Structure 1
Amino acid sequence: MSHYLNNCCPLCGEDNPELYFEDKNRRYLSCPDCHLVYVPREFFLTKEAEKTEYDFHNNDPADPEYRKFLSRLSLPMLERLRPRQKGLDFGCGPGPAMHDLFTAHGHTVDLYDPFYTNNPGVFSNTFDFITATEVVEHLHHPGSVFDRLFDLLHCGGWLGIMTKLVLDKEKFSYWHYIRDLTHVCFYSRATFTYIAQRHRASLSFIGNDVILLQKGEFQV
């Protein structure tokens, strides 16, 4: 039996993970059920250290290159939205450029970020779409967060995610994504297939790092 039993999968709760990889900084466990690769809690940064790392990010909403980067998610979502929809930019960071990209097309967008726009009142609303750009890899409790996000969506609503995907163990070993110590969850196509099935959502992959999930039209 695995000796990682105290580190249940934070996405699906599976209690028998396997060691996936280890480097000089951390261990990475793999869930045999949902295929999430994740960092055990003992390697999490403190909230203060995590915030310090985020403060180093230079995400200027007026930067054309940053807006072009975000457009990899915004454009395919905009193609799927009806006019004048209401959205939430979850994990918007200090420079909520995604807000501007959607409001420029007539949509309204609420903002939430636990460090920069900590407005829990947004969770009493419901939304036609939610974006999470370079966010889900930071989640300490992804299972409960995905549950909450799907609860916030209207039936037929869209959840748009941007995150790099795990390909295989060899590439993982030298992957730049794991060098960021605020990244604690790593998803593959199989992981998002699990998430879609769990929430009865349709699933589309756009390019290498954009994932669109549509909540079923007739959920109760």
Structure 2
Amino acid sequence: MPHCPLCESQQTNIYFEDKRQYWQCQTCQLVFVHPDQRVDAEAEKAVYDLHENDPQDLGYRRFLSRMANPILERIEPNSTGLDFGCGPGPALAMMLEEQGHQVALYDHYYYPNKQVLEQQYDFVTATEVIEHLFSPNVVWQVWLDLLKPGGWLGVMTKLVKDVDAFATWHYRHDPTHVVFFSRATFEFLAKRDQLQLEFIGNDVMLLKKGERISRA
């Protein structure tokens, strides 16, 4: 029985099975592919190389505006941010920079500059990233550590609804998608890590890190 890759719970059960075996954590409700059925790094990058993420594409910009607009409404002018998992065409970063913000880039394959992970930011964005993570527990903590007190984390990912919807869900057929979050999973993380959580539409979650409490 595999343990949960997000909260480390041993309480996991089979959720759904076809070509791959999907398990669900009974603690945080994460649904995840059995670790033995993940693709290797070469196959994973081959899929990513097929993505067409042109920063000038108006349709792609409209898609990313679902993240950009709510983030822009919440951050201060001239903020600094990091687009984590930006891919080969960092369109979201460009959109935010056009509004006067500074945005660093990190991507395991395309912008592997780990120096940008050694400072803190007013906001961190991760669009269509979290569902690819083999170790979401590790990366989630990295994201929280990257945020200044009061900073915003923006996550875009499709959410699990129920097992009937999951059975016909196109999202799970991408071989690089290995973890699937639900509203309950984000609510679990927000409560555990003392984050303010907002759901924006069907696939954007904004989480605000608590302000540091000054001690007299």
TM range (shorter): over 0.9
Shift of 1:67: 0.4
1:36 pairs with 16, 30, 38, which one?
Answer: 30
Alignment of 1:31-110 (within 5 A): 31-110=25-104
Equivalent pair of 2:156/2:203 in contact (CA under 8 Å):
yes
Equivalent pair of 1:155/1:219 in contact (CA under 8 Å):
no
Alignment of 1:1-220 (within 5 A): 4=1, 7-23=2-18, 25-218=19-212
Q: Give me the identity figure in percent.
A: 52
* Runs of 5+ unmatched residues, structure 2: none
Aligned residue identity for 1:17: T
Aligned residue identity for 2:188: Y
Aligned residue identity for 1:18: N
Of 190-199 and 66-75, more deviation after overlay is shown by 190-199
Write the distance in 2 (CA, Å) between the matches of 1:92 and 1:53.
15
Shift of 1:219: 5.9
**SS of residue paired to 1:82:** coil
Aligned residue identity for 1:184: V
Aligned residue identity for 1:90: F
**SS of residue paired to 2:54:** coil
* Equivalent residue pairs, number: 214
Aligned residue identity for 1:67: R
Write the distance in 2 (CA, Å) between the matches of 1:169 and 1:219.
42
Write the distance in 2 (CA, Å) between the matches of 1:52 and 1:188.
27
Equivalent pair of 2:120/2:148 in contact (CA under 8 Å):
yes
- Provide TM-score, normalisation by structure 1: 0.96
Shift of 1:218: 2.3
* Runs of 5+ unmatched residues, structure 1: none
Equivalent pair of 2:11/2:27 in contact (CA under 8 Å):
no
- Provide TM-score, normalisation by structure 2: 0.97
**SS of residue paired to 1:45:** coil
**SS of residue paired to 1:204:** strand
Write the distance in 1 (CA, Å) between the matches of 2:207 and 2:51.
27
**SS of residue paired to 1:130:** strand
CA RMSD of aligned residues (A): 0.9
Equivalent pair of 1:35/1:188 in contact (CA under 8 Å):
yes
